[in-house]
Structure 1
Amino acid sequence: MSAGQGPDAVLDGLRRHAHRLVAELAGPVRRVRLRSGETVLEVEWHVPAQAAPGTEPVPAAVPEPEPAAGTPPPDPGRLTVRAPVVGTFYRAPEPGAAPFVSVGDLIRPGQVVGIVEAMKLMNEVTADQAGRVVEVLVDDGQPVEYDQPLLALEPAGQRGG
């Protein structure tokens, strides 16, 4: 907090930041927590009544995204790793570092394959399936949409001919 700002002004700034962040994220948001100095804003949404205790809420149906202009249609034999949020895609953990993965790499479920920066938050992109990277679909530092394919994978166990 700067010398001229009281706690109410900082809280108002955090509220505006939270509002913009939630508006940019696709899909349901369960909890948001922001901090500025000693001021903390935490917002949590309740689990829908139809969800059993101890279970995650069922996300609302999301329509299939339209392919971006100039994007070729996906190959039905390929898997994809998709953007978890709207933001800027980075292939490496920091500028000048080696990329998380490259074409030809075998990846496993849960492996970090990139980062999407959204509102100065770094969101890890993880693979949800095993496979071999056959194509990087987005250049480093490019903006991406929610659920946009980032990497094309050959399913584990398959060999290209």
Structure 2
Amino acid sequence: MTSPLDGQLDRVRASLLSTLDSLPALPTRFTVRVADVAFELEWAEGARAAGPVVVEEVTGTDVPAIRSPSVGTFYRAAEPGAEPFVRVGDTVHKGQQVAIVEAMKLMLPVESDQDGRVASVLPADGDPVQYGQTLFTLEPSDG
């Protein structure tokens, strides 16, 4: 069983990042809401953003998700070259480790807080993530 979200979130993300690249000035804030398909851009008054754009991804309560426990770097596997903890389509159980977030040289396990099937993995391996950012979307499992 495939989810209607399979691939769609990745396409939306790529399209929005492409849009950001085409803007004459970077916004200081960019918010995406998946549930009602809305996004917001905010610029500092008369100024170009000095640093990187903060992308805050918000999913509606109707989309089960696993979120980052901390600011840090997202890793899908225990070490470089190892198999990822989970892949799209895998069934996960509450308490199962699905990734790692490295924060200030601490390796924090990311555990699922619910049962389900992995519908998408949003950040790429090695991407910086924010506290509470959606890392995985889930769909209900068959059992």
User: What TM-score does the superposition give when structure 2 sets the normalisation length?
Assistant: 0.59
Larger radius of gyration: 1
Structure with more relative contact order (C-alpha pairs < 8 Å, separation 6 or more):
2
The Cα shift of 1:87 comes to 0.2
Given the alignment, which residue of 97, 103, 108 partners 1:123? Answer: 108
| Equivalence for 2:122 | 137
| Number of residue equivalences | 92
For 1:110-154, what per-residue CA distance to the aligned partner results, in whole angstroms no more than 9, with x for missing partners?
A: 000000000000000000000000100111000000000000000
The Cα shift of 1:75 comes to 5.6
Matching of residue 147 in structure 1 with residue 132 in structure 2: yes
Is residue 92–residue 115 contact of structure 1 (8 Å, CA) maintained in 2? yes
Q: Distance in 1 between matches of 2:55 and 2:107?
A: 26
Is residue 64–residue 137 contact of structure 2 (8 Å, CA) maintained in 1? yes
Gaps of 5+ in 2: 1-30, 33-53
| Equivalence for 1:101 | 86
Q: Distance in 1 between matches of 2:78 and 2:107?
A: 10
Structure 1 ranges of 4+ moved more than 6 A: none
User: What TM-score does the superposition give when structure 1 sets the normalisation length?
Assistant: 0.52
For 1:3-32, what per-residue CA distance to the aligned partner results, in whole angstroms no more than 9, with x for missing partners?
A: xxxxxxxxxxxxxxxxxxxxxxxxxxxxxx
Q: Distance in 2 between matches of 1:115 and 1:91?
A: 6
The Cα shift of 1:70 comes to 8.3
Is residue 77–residue 154 contact of structure 1 (8 Å, CA) maintained in 2? no
Q: Distance in 1 between matches of 2:76 and 2:59?
A: 21
Residue identity in the other structure for 2:83: A
The Cα shift of 1:76 comes to 5.0
